[in-house]
Chain A
């Protein structure tokens, strides 16, 4: 009863201070696309792009709604709902949903606890709302893969030492998380390798169209298969607000022999290290280096292992509301047991983008992207393994926000 009373008082206090309403955002991002991409991985092809040669013209980039609801003084609930394509499993679905506890900083330390489904803190590129990149339309191969296969469904704790607020030049951050429901992570990298796309897999959705072959995995990624939690630990060093170095070690600790017949998938034992360095200058330059190195394995009848790695370099220059960005990506997947077999790949990507964002409701962006890749699995589709795909994409995004 005492607890109930406290809750009632807290609730009454919360209501009396006012300003407890939720903050919301709504954004519609439409695209005009010209693409010569091979049949997309989203259509069960081996093309690297989201919009292939059959998906040109006006396309839905993303319809996004976000809600931020304070719960009492230091708790808040965050919801991210998106629609990506007309033929998604769910027309509207969650990409993130979590409760956050943000106690007041004390003596230079700030802590955060998140419970729910969210991205691990590893991308210094996806810094805009909705885990989008502000530099280009299409994120790096690394961020594309994270958006496709990785989500923390669990509990994360983070501690920041706010040195710069105490007169020092550095801030430090440490993160640790325990999670489940990410055992299929790795399925997609083995099936089609890296893609270059801005589509984030939703929590209850799948990666693109249903499987052509019913015996293959359902491409649903957020499931618990072996009842073993995974973990990640991360650290970040910030020099003032100019330089950020981030490192993360992720291990889903999956039992590669465990199976989930309902989604026709295994528990993919996936472990990776990711590092990112972002340098910003006072006159609008950004340099962003990212690297990812990991492996994934299943053990259906014998152990099968894929190693993967990717590197990315982005240079951007902002001129007031205008920004130009150039990025180069390299990516590779190697099927350990037979590097010549399907399941390995090697590729590079280049992107050039211009964007206009004056802080108002509209954001416009124009991007040229080219991906060259050598994917032996294309032989199985009667294609040549080597492909050079490119697209030009224009994005017009209209976003509004307010408070309830």
Chain B
């Protein structure tokens, strides 16, 4: 995300160049590790972590072209994180038609009924969480998190999210997950040196996760 200075070494001075490169990489920033724990201490996987730069301000990440598919009456992935101004394509891998909508403030839209050929991609130019639904299949649910943070990602099974080359500075860590039962989970941190690790513990129990695995012939 943040630019990495180019190596300046030459073939003849390979060792020196490598050393210089190493030095400049260290100067480029820290390796950031954020681990999210549930109230009971278990790691929270799948949580969205965004790292907003407070000072110095960093340029927002470049927009991307992302995909939110529909497979066996489910959105895939269930949570998509994209930089602001990114475009998202909504293909439909199911044999049946879908009608995707959002009435979230961050992006209201609706994709007329379709199957097979996808509609033109949708641009998400406001930050926030966009909740997706299908007007034909009421159980379908997914989220698109639109962010202007220079670093972002989802926690793994161990509850950990990592980012490299984070310049020294002050950042706001935000954690979001559809099951989090508290209004804002955020923390302002100072990052310096070559490693910075933070633990974030939720203070309330999670909401129950959506029920999964029911046969598709069940209506609701």
The answer for the CA separation of A169 and B178 in the assembled complex, in Å, is 12
Kindly identify which residue among B101, B116, B216 contacts A19, using a CB–CB cutoff of 8 Å.
B116
Choose among B95, B208, B215, B218 the residue with the greatest number of A CB atoms under 10 Å from its CB: B215
- On chain B, the residues within 8 Å of A106 by CB distance are 103
Indicate whether B12 reaches chain A with its CB closer than 8 angstroms: no
Indicate whether A227 reaches chain B with its CB closer than 8 angstroms: no
- On chain B, the residues within 8 Å of A23 by CB distance are 95-97
Indicate whether B91 reaches chain A with its CB closer than 8 angstroms: no
Do A102 and B136 have beta carbons less than 8 Å apart? yes
Do A403 and B96 have beta carbons less than 8 Å apart? yes
Per-residue interface assignment for chain B, residues 184 to 220, with 1 indicating a CB less than 8 Å from any chain A CB and 0 otherwise = 0000000000000000000000011111011111111
Given the known interface contacts A242-B211, A320-B213, the answer about A70 and B219 at a Cβ–Cβ threshold of 8 Å is no
**Min distance, Cβ B157 to any Cβ of chain A, angstroms:** 18
Given the known interface contacts A104-B110, A165-B133, the answer about A359 and B139 at a Cβ–Cβ threshold of 8 Å is no
The answer for the CA separation of A108 and B136 in the assembled complex, in Å, is 16
> Which B92-112 residues have a C-beta within 8 angstroms of A?
95-97, 99, 101, 103, 110, 112
Indicate whether A402 reaches chain B with its CB closer than 8 angstroms: yes
Stretch at the interface among A35-43, A127-135, A176-184, A346-354: A127-135
Given the known interface contacts A70-B113, A403-B95, the answer about A107 and B219 at a Cβ–Cβ threshold of 8 Å is no
Main secondary structure of the interface of B (DSSP, over half): loop
- On chain B, the residues within 8 Å of A242 by CB distance are 208, 211
**Min distance, Cβ B108 to any Cβ of chain A, angstroms:** 9
Do A282 and B211 have beta carbons less than 8 Å apart? yes
Indicate whether A18 reaches chain B with its CB closer than 8 angstroms: yes
- On chain B, the residues within 8 Å of A74 by CB distance are 135
Indicate whether A92 reaches chain B with its CB closer than 8 angstroms: no
Q: Which residue of B lies closest to A19 (CB)?
A: B115
Do B103 and A165 have beta carbons less than 8 Å apart? yes
- On chain A, the residues within 8 Å of B211 by CB distance are 241-242, 280, 282
The answer for the CA separation of A70 and B97 in the assembled complex, in Å, is 9
> Which B108-164 residues have a C-beta within 8 angstroms of A?
110, 112-117, 131, 133, 135-136, 139, 141
Indicate whether A300 reaches chain B with its CB closer than 8 angstroms: no
Do A127 and B113 have beta carbons less than 8 Å apart? no
**Min distance, Cβ A381 to any Cβ of chain B, angstroms:** 39
Do A240 and B208 have beta carbons less than 8 Å apart? yes
> Which A170-203 residues have a C-beta within 8 angstroms of B?
none
Given the known interface contacts A106-B103, A282-B211, the answer about A165 and B220 at a Cβ–Cβ threshold of 8 Å is no
Indicate whether A357 reaches chain B with its CB closer than 8 angstroms: yes
Do A241 and B139 have beta carbons less than 8 Å apart? yes
Indicate whether A4 reaches chain B with its CB closer than 8 angstroms: no
The answer for the CA separation of A358 and B101 in the assembled complex, in Å, is 29
The answer for the CA separation of A165 and B103 in the assembled complex, in Å, is 9
Q: Which residue of B lies closest to A238 (CB)?
A: B220
Do B97 and A127 have beta carbons less than 8 Å apart? no
Indicate whether A313 reaches chain B with its CB closer than 8 angstroms: no
Do A169 and B207 have beta carbons less than 8 Å apart? yes
- On chain A, the residues within 8 Å of B113 by CB distance are 17, 19-20, 70, 73
Given the known interface contacts A19-B116, A241-B210, the answer about A134 and B218 at a Cβ–Cβ threshold of 8 Å is yes
Indicate whether A81 reaches chain B with its CB closer than 8 angstroms: no
The answer for the CA separation of A402 and B115 in the assembled complex, in Å, is 12
The answer for the CA separation of A107 and B101 in the assembled complex, in Å, is 11
The answer for the CA separation of A70 and B214 in the assembled complex, in Å, is 25
Do B117 and A134 have beta carbons less than 8 Å apart? no
The answer for the CA separation of A318 and B213 in the assembled complex, in Å, is 10
Do B97 and A399 have beta carbons less than 8 Å apart? no
Indicate whether A11 reaches chain B with its CB closer than 8 angstroms: no
- On chain A, the residues within 8 Å of B133 by CB distance are 105, 162, 165
Q: Which residue of B lies closest to A76 (CB)?
A: B136
The answer for the CA separation of A399 and B216 in the assembled complex, in Å, is 12
Q: Which residue of B lies closest to A109 (CB)?
A: B103
The answer for the CA separation of A367 and B208 in the assembled complex, in Å, is 32
Per-residue interface assignment for chain A, residues 219 to 241, with 1 indicating a CB less than 8 Å from any chain B CB and 0 otherwise = 00000000000000000000011
Given the known interface contacts A73-B112, A105-B133, A105-B135, the answer about A134 and B217 at a Cβ–Cβ threshold of 8 Å is yes
The answer for the CA separation of A241 and B110 in the assembled complex, in Å, is 24
**Min distance, Cβ A161 to any Cβ of chain B, angstroms:** 12
Q: Which residue of A lies closest to B72 (CB)?
A: A359
The answer for the CA separation of A128 and B116 in the assembled complex, in Å, is 26
**Min distance, Cβ B97 to any Cβ of chain A, angstroms:** 5
- On chain A, the residues within 8 Å of B218 by CB distance are 127-128, 134
Do B117 and A359 have beta carbons less than 8 Å apart? no
- On chain A, the residues within 8 Å of B214 by CB distance are 318
Q: Which residue of A lies closest to B109 (CB)?
A: A104
Do B208 and A165 have beta carbons less than 8 Å apart? no
Do B219 and A105 have beta carbons less than 8 Å apart? no
Given the known interface contacts A108-B103, A241-B139, the answer about A402 and B216 at a Cβ–Cβ threshold of 8 Å is no
- On chain B, the residues within 8 Å of A399 by CB distance are 217
Contact surface of B with A, Cβ cutoff 8 Å: 95-97, 99, 101, 103, 110, 112-117, 131, 133, 135-136, 139, 141, 207-211, 213-220
- What are 15 residue pairs bridging A and B, where the CB atoms are less than 8 Å apart in the complex? A19-B114, A70-B97, A70-B113, A110-B135, A127-B218, A127-B220, A128-B218, A128-B219, A134-B215, A241-B210, A242-B208, A318-B213, A358-B215, A399-B217, A403-B97
**Given A19-B115, A127-B218, 5 other A-B residues pairs in contact with their CB atoms under 8 A:** A17-B114, A18-B116, A20-B113, A318-B213, A403-B96
Per CB-CB distance, the 4 closest pairs between chain A and chain B, nearest first, are: A19-B115, A357-B215, A104-B110, A19-B114
Contact surface of A with B, Cβ cutoff 8 Å: 17-21, 23, 70, 73-74, 102, 104-108, 110, 127-129, 134, 162, 165-166, 169, 240-242, 280, 282, 318, 320, 357-359, 363, 399, 401-403
